[in-house]
Structure 1
């Protein structure tokens, strides 16, 4: 560790990586602490049915969140990282992304309103869905991708900490009975909007980013240039979130609650792995030759995390949930390998193929795998409820992760061969 620390401190890039990793570590640690405080309380107060309703709404809205993001979290981060010495160019990129996201958010809300009016089950949960949708504009305001691109993770950490603290406090103060489950997404959304406004103010006044008037052609080009990354991000959400939506419609809120409880700690663990992906992304955008170093660190940690999560699954579920959630133990054990499988996509897809400009090839793999996931999710969820949803998710994550890995290694080999021939 001392040797690694010395190497990181030896140059400007290394210091930036070390600093950003440290701040994001703080963010992830607090990201563990706050949910660990609220999960047992919510499980006891709102029960498995309330958990299921919240999970259902989140699964629907994540589609619209992905549409609004449109892959900008990666393409805009990459572009700003490569042009961060030009305030004029960064302002142009930021403004185009801001207006593009706003347009996509408006279209998303219109679609949400229409489908909630037409589909009876969604109509029953319309208020919950609208409240949860507030996370979409909050995410637009909280441009964490910008702070990531300029490698100033300190600000993301501070804002995230404030948001989680406010959200957690309100949960304990106001959620007192089962019918209060709707307050969970409300407080989460309001806290996120507040932090989004603060971060937006900081971007404009501290970093002097100019918000340029919307230019229709520039907005359309911005959307077109990120369409491949969008497809790569959106399609996996179809079979992932579709499983929860189908569970809510066919199995009821209880089945959704069990599935969500089992997946909860996988998501928390995966959020830790995202730290490495996010910290290294702007760095690798400028220094792709360091990818092998990143690859070894990330995959080693993720493999160990999957094993540990599998072994302690019974203890985790029994420690944080009431007996009505105990069936989630098997869900967590099956899902534990997801930490490693998702890391394959992050290491070889996000932090290599996208950095190298192979978005279209990555998109093609994602399209095929996602269509398979979409097809098999319907019979498996219908016949095997939350276990079927779990098997679908893990199976497609494996197919997607290893397919991306093989493509990335092939590209690496071809590029290495070209360099040797050039020399």
Structure 2
């Protein structure tokens, strides 16, 4: 079985890369194609992403879990893979045809929409769910890393003026396609071709659809909010929101990385009946995730304005305000991700996952419609916070008698309090307010202060330091 720490490190490195690379190109794009150009790409990409969702349905979670449960049996996993992939291919035939009709007749910008069609096509070849289920993160990370770096280089080479929005969209979408195709040569190492039967394919439809509904619901506050923002406030506001969201997505990359790795591991443990081992992994992961997300949630607002001025340049000040609001989503998403990927999905509590996402989507749409007309991108930011809060609250209420909720909340409170005190201390200090020092100095002072506050607080709340120190030293998961 693959080493857990190594898999987390690989996937964290990759998630960080796919978020850092856009940040590397963002200052350049902000100055070359401006907020309007960034908004055009973000808006068209958001629409195309909905079609990608209908190709993959709930495969990121369902396919991962299904493969993990048979990862030690080559014949069974081969059968499982080809059945699921046949379903994915059938979904693409329908969805791809609908997208082509939309691009030609309804999109408004046919060229941009057709270029985004390359991204939709890439979903046909997306088998990351299989490799994640096999816990083969090194393979996916190395290949995709090379493609992502080449894509970033392509942005600097081909996007040279405000009229190169088409070139920007083309480079990004071709990168997505190549990234998916790059894994196919290695598929033969793990599966043999087994012709799927109709009955075999059909058995995967219902559980996959159950996990697809949360995908659509979550997309409401991750993607549809940008569409609503663009329709109600203009693409420039989408550009402000997009640049703020890019920064917030960097710390949540760790959450995504840990959750993606722990889902197949916990699913495999549950399939073997090793529930105590799964529970230990969950608690240790929660400590790690809450520590990281708390320091990010309270630290980013301190540096938001100087970072925005330094990174995006003049005219992007609304992004800083959005960033401050969106920081509240970081610990909410972190706690929820642990509950979701290490309890709800491995234990097949799909209905709880489903309805939590639906409730979050409803909250997001309601807040967006109420606040976007008046506050623009800031209204969308509040909508995202409302969605994440409702999702987590629903999940915790539904499983409160099945998990040690009081202990989990104590862990979260410890790190949130430490982050709050750190933030207040930094505000009180005479820190440089602009330029690179305005970003670097608060980070250098805040991180050690957060560490000094956290461990004593854990002991005060009755959580033994020996439960935490192994995690911080990297011994968790051995």
TM-score (structure 2 length as normaliser): 0.78
Query: Which residue in 2 is equivalent to 1:174?
Result: 158
Q: How far is 1:214 from its partner?
A: 4.5
Q: Distance in 1 between matches of 2:16 and 2:237?
A: 29
- 1:90 paired residue among 77, 88, 97: 77
CA separation of 1:211 and 1:130: change in aligned 2, threshold 3 A = farther
The residue number in structure 1 matching 2:318 is: 327
Matched residue, 1:135: 119
Query: How far off its partner does 1:254 sit?
Result: 0.9
Correspondence for 2:21 among 28, 34, 55: 34
Q: Gapped runs of 5+ residues in structure 2?
A: 270-277, 406-478
Residue 36 of structure 2, aligned match among 49, 71, 83: 49
1:39-74 CA distances to partner (integer Å, 9 max, x unpaired)? Answer: 111111111100010110121122222222211111
Matched, 1:308 2:290: no
User: Are 2:242 and 1:260 equivalent residues in the alignment?
Assistant: yes
Structure-to-structure mapping, 1:18-417, within 5 angstroms: 18-116=5-103, 119=106, 122=107, 124-204=108-188, 206-207=189-190, 209-287=191-269, 288-290=278-280, 291-412=282-403
Distance 1:115 1:378, change over 3 A: farther
Q: In structure 2, how many angstroms separate the alpha carbons of the residues matched to 1:18 and 1:258?
A: 36
Count of residue correspondences: 396
Q: Tell me if the contact between 1:228 and 1:359 (Cα under 8 Å) persists in the aligned partners.
A: yes
The residue number in structure 2 matching 1:7 is none
Cα distance 1:107–1:381, how it changes in 2: closer, same or farther (>3 A)? Answer: farther
Task: Quote the offset at 1:103 in angstroms.
Answer: 1.8
For structure 1, which segment, 179-188 or 372-381, has the greater mean C-alpha deviation from structure 2 after superposition?
372-381
Q: Find the residue that maps to 2:234 and give its secondary structure.
A: helix
Q: Following TM superposition, by how much is the alpha carbon of 1:32 offset from its aligned partner in structure 2, in angstroms? A: 4.7
Counterpart-to-counterpart distance in 2, 1:236 and 1:23: 25
- 1:186, 1:383 → 2: CA distance? 34
Answer whether contact 2:255 2:337 (CA < 8 A) is retained.
Answer: no
C-alpha separation between the residues in 1 aligned to 2:303 and 2:372? 26
- Say whether the 8 Å CA contact 2:53–2:215 is kept in structure 1: yes
Matched position secondary structure for 2:401: helix
After superposing the two structures, state which structure 1 stretch, 353-362 or 66-75, moved more.
66-75
Residue 3 (structure 1) aligns with: none
Contact 2:155–2:171 (8 Å) recurs in 1: yes
Aligned mates of 2:291, 2:112 — CA distance in 1: 40
In 2, are the aligned partners of 1:344 and 1:404 still within 8 Å (CA)?
no
Report the CA distance between 1:332 and its aligned residue: 0.5
> Mean Cα displacement is larger for which, 164-173 or 367-376?
367-376
Q: For the residues of structure 2 that align with 1:223 and 1:319, how far apart are their CA atoms?
A: 49
Matches of 2:404 and 2:265, distance apart in 1 = 22
Structure 1 residue runs without a partner (length 5+): 1-12, 415-423
The change in CA–CA distance for 1:129 and 1:272 in structure 2 (over 3 A counts) is: farther
Q: Distance in 1 between matches of 2:355 and 2:325?
A: 27
CA distance in 2 between counterparts of 1:376 and 1:25 reads 32
Distance 1:340 1:133 in 2: 34
Which stretch has the larger CA shift, 261-270 or 405-414? Answer: 405-414
1:118 Cα deviation after fit = 5.6
